[in-house]
Homo-oligomer: A and B are copies of this chain.
Amino acid sequence: MLDLTQDVGALTAAIVDIESVSGNEKVLADAVEETLRRLPHLTVDRSGETVVARTNIGRPERVLIAGHLDTVPLAGNLPSRVEGDLLYGCGTSDMKAGVAVALKLAALLPEPNRDVTYVFYDCEEVEAERNGLTRVSRDHADWLAADFAVLMEPTDGVIEGGCQGTLRAEITTRGKRAHSARSWLGVNAIHAVEPILATLNAYEARRPVVDGLEYHEGLNAVTVHGGVAGNVIPDQAVVTVNYRFAPDLSLAEAESHVRELFDGFEVAFTDGAPAARPGLTHPVAAAFVAAVGGTPRAKLGWTDVARFSALGVPAVNYGPGDPNLAHQQGEYASLSQIRDSEIAMLNWLSPGA
């Protein structure tokens, strides 16, 4: 059981002190479930170590507030400790402060101005297949239905909209082997990489504005490999290119763009994940931006908001905590920033707002 009547900072510390490294979330998930089941205005579901709770008061809009329960492995940084305004410990910033804010909202808002779905999920810090959102979106997609979602990852209290997509392509050059003492009898596949690198060096990355936010693309070689032996003209080389693309392109459009750039080369796509539009033009999102304040910025890395986007739910990242501290031994969160987030969210969802 968690005491939801305590201050959000003290609640954060209590949650941080329940160790929940990925795969070990059961104790914390049990505490969250038990705590939420005592709130009569919520319907509670559970899948594995993921807990989903919903108000059902017939509001015309439904918003979803999500946070992951797991942390990266401990680094001698538990239990938590307070120094002045700062709460130190594993998971303070990423993202138990956000989880604490969401739990406070669940307790304080029996009749929010929009119906709310709270999602507390497991295994965000490990491979996608284990991620609780992957499982729930496959087995219980209806639990995630909403008009707008806020993923309370640490963003320093700034709204980060959407996320860029990513794809990787292997570009292969072919040649003909020969002994390097008679190199003119062969065709050098490594030398044939030059125009690929020339294309990459000449590439001007787009910085498109999508739904009011400026994104920043990137097209880069991330690996290159080629060669047979020190005395053989190589017959193959492979450049792996990573394209990070803005959410005005679908994954298919991004792939076409890469194919066109490397027209005439052998191009094979090895993985890809679509971008997510920020969705800030939707009225419920606009209301969120107005309530929270500040200037939203584009999210450049790929995040779980793309999973909501794939389900047709516009989503943003927004939460207390400095994202640059995530996964660091000295991770901390500002107690006043956690309280500011709680107040902003209450402003957005309180019945009088």
Contact = CB atoms under 8 A, between A and B. Distances in A.
Interface of A: 164, 166, 168, 179-184, 188, 190-191, 193-194, 197-198, 200-201, 205, 216, 218, 220-234, 237, 239-240, 242, 244, 271, 300-302
Given A181-B302, A182-B300, A242-B180, A191 B166 contact: no
Given A181-B300, A242-B230, A191 B221 contact: yes
A194 B197 contact: yes
A240 B230 contact: yes
Contact of A223 (B184, B223, B226): B226
A220 B181 contact: no
Nearest to A299: B181
8 contacts: A181-B244, A188-B221, A190-B223, A190-B239, A193-B224, A222-B232, A222-B233, A225-B227
A63 to B, nearest CB: 27
B180 A244 contact: yes
B227 A223 contact: yes
Contacts of A184: 205, 216, 218
A238 to B, nearest CB: 10
Copies of this subunit: 2
B194 A224 contact: no
A190 to B, nearest CB: 4
Contacts of A200: 188, 191
B193 A181 contact: no
A62 B110 CA distance: 109
A227 B230 contact: no
A261 to B, nearest CB: 14
A262 to B, nearest CB: 15
Given A181-B164, A197-B197, A198-B194, A222 B218 contact: no
B197 A191 contact: yes
Contacts of A230: 168, 222-223, 240, 242, 271
A2 B144 CA distance: 91
A91 B323 CA distance: 70
A271 B229 CA distance: 14
